[in-house]
Structure 1
Amino acid sequence: MKKTMLVEGMSCNHCVMAVTNALKELEGVTDVQVDLDSKKVEVSGENLMDESLKEAVEEAGYDVVEIK
């Protein structure tokens, strides 16, 4: 399963690491790819719940605009 999120507020590699680490802590997440230029975050894994993904990113200090 793969989810793509549009995340606002990321501006540097520190932001990329913060979002990546927050998502990798979630159960079922196997891979996280962040594209700083497009603000897209691709999350791969099993049983990915939109609400859990959004909560993890927002707790790291960023805004989730969309999840597909």
Structure 2
Amino acid sequence: MIKHYVVDGMTCAHCKASVEEEINEIPGAQGVDADFESGRVVVTGEMFSDSDVAFAVENAGFTLRQDEEDEATSQV
């Protein structure tokens, strides 16, 4: 499964590293790629939920929202 999110508040490489570190701790998450300039985060893996990712992002000190593009493709 591949999920796309937007993280509000990432402004630097340290922010990116914090978000990636927290998400990588989620059981089932196999990879994460965050871009602090756009705020976009892509998480790959199996058996993780949006709430798992939101909790991890909040632990890193940021706010998560669903990427509108991901929602559009999920409803097709």
TMscore range, shorter length = over 0.9
- Identity fraction in percent: 35
Q: Which amino acid aligns with 1:47?
A: M
Count of aligned pairs: 68
Distance 1:65 1:26 in 2: 17
TM-score (norm. length: structure 1):
0.93
TM-score (norm. length: structure 2):
0.83
Q: Are 1:37 and 2:25 counterparts?
A: no
Q: Which amino acid aligns with 1:18?
A: S
| Residue number in structure 1 paired with 2:13 | 13
Which ranges of 4 or more aligned residues in structure 1 deviate by more than 3 Å? none
| Residue number in structure 1 paired with 2:73 | none
Q: Are 1:63 and 2:25 counterparts?
A: no
Q: Which amino acid aligns with 2:35?
A: D
* Unaligned 5+ runs, structure 1: none
The structure where strand makes up a greater share of residues is 1
CA RMSD of aligned residues (A): 1.0
* Unaligned 5+ runs, structure 2: 71-76
